[in-house]
Amino acid sequence: HASMATRDEQRQHPLPLHILFLPFFAPGHLIPVVDMAAIFSARGARCTILTTPVNADIIRPAVDRANDSDCHGTDSPSPAVDIFVVPFPDVGLPPGMENLMFLTPAHGAECPLKFIQAVQLLREPFDRFMAANRPDAVVSDSFFSWSADAAAEHGVPRLVFLGSSVFARCCSETMLRTNPLETTTNPDDDPDDDARLVSLPGLPHRVQLRRSQMMDPRKRPAMWAFHKDNDAADQRSFGEVLNSFHELEPDYVEHFRTTLGRRAWLVGPVALASKDMAKRGRPDNTEAHVTEGCLRWMDRKPAGSVVYVSFGTFTSFSPAELRELARGLDLSGKDFVWVISSGTGTDGSEWMPEGFAELMARGDRGFIIRGWAPQTLILNHHALGGFMTHCGWNSALEAVSAGVPMVTWPRYADQFYNEKLIVEVLKVGVSIGAKDFASPLEGHEVIGGEVIAGSIGRLMGSGEEGDAVRKKAKDLSVKARSAMEKGGSSYGDFGRLMDELMARRSPGEDTTPLILQK
Ligand code: UDP
């Protein structure tokens, strides 16, 4: 009887959903997962993020903020976001090297592969957690392909998350299915010609990339196999949550759902989860004096006059590239905030062009940040007029959310696809003309200072092109905000996903065995 009563009670007042998040070890994967967990929690779900000690330290400030219910604007306390800390698997990486952002070219080309090995070894603690807790769903990074079968064995639905645009997901799916690099439409074309334009067939727009901008399966067989494996696991999953919003890329949402047959919930921009992100910034490990110094410097600048230059957390520039970038910023005549990630270019004598040290010493033209920058605060500052970006999806979407147009400089991963979306589909950016797909541990072609200055001028100058992208960027930022508000498209997708997960709980079976045993 006691047990029946408890069941009836539970039907009337079901326990909150419990979601387990399994993010990959890189800021671009971790940051949006914490933001997403904060939203799930604000909407009434209990969330656990499974990660390793160093990554737990990286996300803890943001998790603490998520647990501070004042931020959600809700009266009732939200269920907690917890971190389940497990040791980083021993794969021969130096102690503490638990996140891709600590990698530099000096660590050697085999280091990223060790991260992939570490990913495989997390299955054991995952199984332990699942057996003891039996959550309602797992939100797994696509990189953890094993979690598709592991979650199924525990009878729990797996939702994929990769932190990419829907556009890039569609492009990479086309690439994996058809590999257009191997075919030429014109028999006279040399298939191996780097300058050859390759079309990705079947997409809503004509999408063409230079061959050299695409990942070549023949040159990167291990990476190709990794993507194929992840893709197969993603297709076996319950569905996918994406950090984007319907109004941003509607044709690609339709293509993803209908043509590719994927179940997808668009729940972004997740960085807008906390209403005060634009004012207080993201709670992270940025040093307070850096934030204060930078914002005070920007406060003195006119509206829309500053260009922010940052290439995410896993990009390195050679001394020759840094030199041209410094020259380009100088030549552009624009004021700039430039983030030079720690590990690269720390010795200025290697790359500083003549006169650049003096320019910086004057203090009025540029502000350099070495290490971590308060990106969301910078993007939302009124002095900001443009963002030179590598097109990492988090950065791009943060710019869209803030209404900031972009100079696009992709390097790797999904970044060349995102550039196409930003420049050709959304028309909120100007391309710098990067041609080579190469990882941060490899070399890139050097782009000249004049080209860099020219692109900044096109974006931030008073010409027609600049006016059009600025207007488009402002329009999209309004749409991004509405998507996240009550009644908005992402708000709705979130609700539908939660309802569906709740409905999956079959009446007798439960996710609450511990209570029934009491
Ligand atoms: N970021 C930041 N400060 C920095 C560098 C990066 O806050 O100095 C954040 C940025 O706002 C974004 C994430 O780190 O949320 C980087 O993700 P993205 O997808 O843009 O690039 P990735 O680093 O994954 O290539």
Residue among 157, 163, 169, 124 nearest 141 (CA): 163
Q: Which residues are catalytic?
A: 29, 141
Please tell me the distance between residue 462's alpha carbon and the centre of ligand 1 in angstroms: 29
| 92-127 exposure pattern, b = at least 16 Cβ within 10 A, e = fewer | ebeeebbbbbbbebebeeebbebbeebbebbeebbe
> What is the predicted pLDDT for the residue at 275?
67
Q: Residue 346's pLDDT is what? A: 66
What does the alpha-carbon distance between residue 269 and residue 245 come to, in Å, rounded to a whole number? 7
Query: Given the CA of residue 31, which atom of ligand 1 is nearest to it?
Result: 15
Q: Which atom of ligand 1 is nearest to the CA of 412?
A: 25
Q: Give the model's confidence band at 109: pLDDT under 50 very low, under 70 low, under 90 confident, else very high.
A: confident
Ligand 1: atom nearest CA of 286 is 3
514 falls in which pLDDT band (50, 70, 90)?
A: very low
Whether residue 79 contacts residue 41, with contact meaning beta carbons closer than 8 Å, is answered with yes
Rounded to whole angstroms, how far apart are CA atoms 481 and 497?
A: 20
Q: Check the CA dihedral 497-500-504-508 and report its sign.
A: positive
Q: Measuring CA to CA, which residue among 71, 122, 398, 134 is closest to residue 244?
A: 398
Question: What is the number of the ligand 1 atom nearest to the C-alpha of 372?
Answer: 8
Burial of 318 (0-12, 13-18, 19+ CB in 10 A): middle
Q: Looking at the predicted structure, is the pLDDT value of residue 485 above 90? A: yes
32 in contact with ligand 1, CB cutoff 6 A: no
Classify 333 in phi/psi space as left (phi over 0), alpha (psi -120 to 50) or beta. left
Is the CB–ligand 1 distance for residue 308 below 6 Å? no
Nearest atom, ligand 1, residue 391 CA:
20
Q: How far apart are CA 141 and CA 144, in angstroms?
A: 6
Q: Which helix (H) or strand (E) holds 21?
A: strand 18-22
What's the pLDDT at 7?
A: 55
**313 in contact with ligand 1, CB cutoff 6 A:** yes
Mean of all residue pLDDT scores within the chain: 91
Give the Cα separation of 339 and 344 in Å (integer).
11
Q: What integer pLDDT is reported at residue 379 of this predicted model?
A: 97
Mutate to test the pocket of ligand 1, among 395, 419, 437 (most ligand atoms within 8 A of CB): 395
pLDDT value at residue 344:
63
Look at ligand 1, atom 13, and give the residue with the nearest C-alpha: 28
Pairing of strands 46-51, 264-266: unpaired
Quick one: tokens of 299?
């406060």
Segment 191-223, tens digit of pLDDT = 788 999 999 999 999 999 999 999 999 999 999
CB distance 393 to ligand 1 below 6 Å: yes
Q: What is the pTM of this model?
A: 0.94
> What are the pLDDT digits (tens) for 389-401?
999 999 999 999 9
CA of 341 to the centre of ligand 1 (A): 11
Is the preceding peptide bond at 269 cis, omega within 30 degrees of 0? Answer: yes
Alpha carbon 256 to its chain centroid, in Å, reads: 19
Q: How do residues 439-460 score in pLDDT, each as one tens digit?
A: 888 889 999 999 999 999 999 9
Tell me the CA–centroid distance for residue 126 and ligand 1, in Å.
27
DSSP of 86-146: -PPP-SSPPTT--SGGG--GGG-TTHHHHHHHHHHTTHHHHHHHHHHH--SEEEEETT-TH
DSSP state of 426: S
List, in order, residues 6 or more apart from 196 with CB less than 8 Å away. Answer: 184, 189, 190, 210, 211
pLDDT of residue 8: 59
Going from the Cα of 243 to the center of ligand 1, the distance in angstroms, rounded, reads: 14
Is any atom of ligand 1 closer than 6 Å to the C-beta of 27? yes
Token pair for residue 221? 């067989």
The secondary structure element, H or E, covering residue 167 is: helix 166-178
What one-character-per-residue DSSP string does 394-424 give?
A: HHHHHHHHHT--EEE---STTHHHHHHIIII
Indicate if ligand 1 lies below 6 Å from the C-beta of 423.
no
| Residue 372 near ligand 1, beta carbon < 6 Å | yes
Report how far ligand 1's centroid is from the alpha carbon of 298 (Å): 20
**Average pLDDT over every residue of 39-49:** 95
- The residues near 57 (Cβ < 8 Å, ≥ 6 apart) are none
Terminal-residue alpha carbon distance, the chain: 12
Residue 389 CB–ligand 1 contact under 6 Å? no
pLDDT, tens digit, for every residue of 492-504?
Answer: 999 999 999 999 9
ipTM surpasses cut 0.85 = yes
Measure 346 CA to ligand 1 centroid, in angstroms.
20
132-183: per-residue pLDDT in tens? 999 999 999 999 999 999 999 999 999 999 999 999 999 999 999 998 888 7
